[in-house]
Each structure stands twice: as structure tokens, then as C-alpha cells.
Amino acid sequence: MPRDAMPLLNVGSINIDHVYRVEQFVQPGETRAVASYQRFLGGKGANQSLALARAGADVRHLGAIDHNSDWVLDYLQSDGVDTRFVEKTDTPTGHAIIQVDDSGENCILIAAGANATIERDRVALALDHAQPSDWVLLQNETSAVADTAELAASRGLRVAYNPAPFDADTVSAMLPHLALLVVNGGEFEALTNAMQGDIPATTDLLITHGSVGAELRYDGEQIFVPAHKVNAIDTTGAGDTFIGYFLASQMAGMDRVTSLERAAAASALSVSRAGAAESIPHAAEVAKQLGN
């Protein structure tokens, strides 16, 4: 049976973000009034799918929501994300409680909800539509992460993995299946300490360093791009924006330096806005930021 080409399948979380603006993060035993409250679409998976789509990539999202969250599908579809593999379940849609302080930093509590209902068989059916060398993107906010990596790699697909929430042992076990690992500086340090050795040479390594910049290590080479200097309002979703734009640029055939620069510009625009999904820029805005 002929199979349609699928450049990227994102097996990722879909959350409803409840965002509270606060002067300072609440401490144990403390009650604080919030400056404002907003509800957004979020989840690392959904954010990364939106970033990919807004950057121009062809992306299909595999995830799960409850029967009362059709607005989530409408939002994803309005930006061109293919949601044919998003399943409706009786389990509540995942959600996050996010505090954002006056400096733009955030702290987050996540309830997995429907994100934890994804099973190996569903992933296998979705992968039947893929061709060798297509991309599969993973995070740690859903079930079936290890199964997906194993299945995808066995079919010759390229697996990109952003292991958040981070667990060094889980990442170590995933490494043989990966083409690209994306971590922040703290996660990279924890991983190298846990492994007591180097990342396999077959895995490209993208390390983000927040307001400093990002680096890509591959084939014994290293590229660094500095972050753009902006007034940070909300850092939620900035890393997801970086990942989506980097992968979309690579899928479009851009070189590594251009891909990193495009991702850096996109994430800079993201942190200058409130929210996660809402803050992700479109390709035309990123081109303007780069002076193109």
C-alpha cells in the first residue's frame, strides 16, 4: 500500500496552561495574590508543533485530549498542524499551573492527564505513514516515549529528543536511538556526570544556554550562536520555540549556522511576549528580526 510522506511526527503533550503573574514565586506556607490570570494552549509537544508549523514545516501531532477540548484542535489546525493522530479520551486534558514573576522567569507544575494515555500500538500505526529519514520528535511529557524512539529508529527514522522533565537515566537509555538530543546547560552537565563519558558520536547535541545563546555539537565540530538581547517578559515556551525553528530550518535544507540563527531570533521574539503558544512567532516575523 502506498504511504504518504511525513517529514515530522511529533509525539507530544498537549496541555492547558493556567498562567498566574506574580511579583515573586509563592513560598511554602505562603499565600499570595496574583496580578493577573490567563489561560493558554501549552505543553511542550503542542508548543513545538506550533513552532514547527509557524516556521514552515510539515508537522503531524500525535497526542490526546478530553472530549471538551475541541478548541485545542482548532488552535493547532489554524496554524497548519495536522491533528489526525490526536485522540479524544475520557481522561482530562493535561494541564499546567505556571507562575511568572516580574523578571519573566517561571516555575511550573504539570498534571499529565490524557498525555499519559498514549500507547505503543497508536504510535506504530502513525509511523506506518512515515518514510525512512523522516523526523520523529519526542519530549518527556507523554507516555510511550521509549517505545516511540525504539520503533522509529528501527524503521530508519531520525529521532529528536528534548528530555524534559529531565531524568539522566532515561536519557542514557534513549541515546542509541537518537539523531538529535536537545538539552539545556544544566541538563547537559547532569547527563555527562551520570554517564561518566561522552555522548555517542552518532547523536548531534543541541545545548541551549538561555539568555547566553546555544551551541550545536556534531561530528567533532561545535557551533555557538549568541542570544538576541531583548526585554524578557515571559520565558515560557522559549526553548520549545528554539527547537521547533531549528528542526524546521534543518528540514528545509538550511545549513546548521542558519538554522541556529533562525532559532535564536525566534526564541528572542518569544520571550518578549506573554504565554507559550501565543508567544511563538511566525516565519515572517523571524525574517524581520534577522533583517531579511
Which residues are marked as active site? 240
What amino acid occupies position 31? T
Q: What angle do CA 40, 280, 95 make, to 5 degrees?
A: 30
Q: In what order do the strands lie in the sheet with 36-42?
A: 36-42, 15-21, 94-100, 106-111
**Would you state the cell numbers that stand for residue 84, as one nine-digit string?**
489526525
Query: What 3-state DSSP class applies to 166?
Result: coil
For residue 228, the 8-state DSSP code is: P
Task: Indicate the pairing of strand 106-111 with strand 94-100.
Answer: antiparallel
Query: What 3-state DSSP class applies to 233?
Result: coil
Q: What angle do CA 194, 197, 202 make, to 5 degrees?
A: 110
**Residue 135 burial by Cβ neighbours in a 10 Å radius (0-12, 13-18, 19+):** buried
**Would you state the cell numbers that stand for residue 198, as one nine-digit string?**
561522552
What amino acid occupies position 14? I
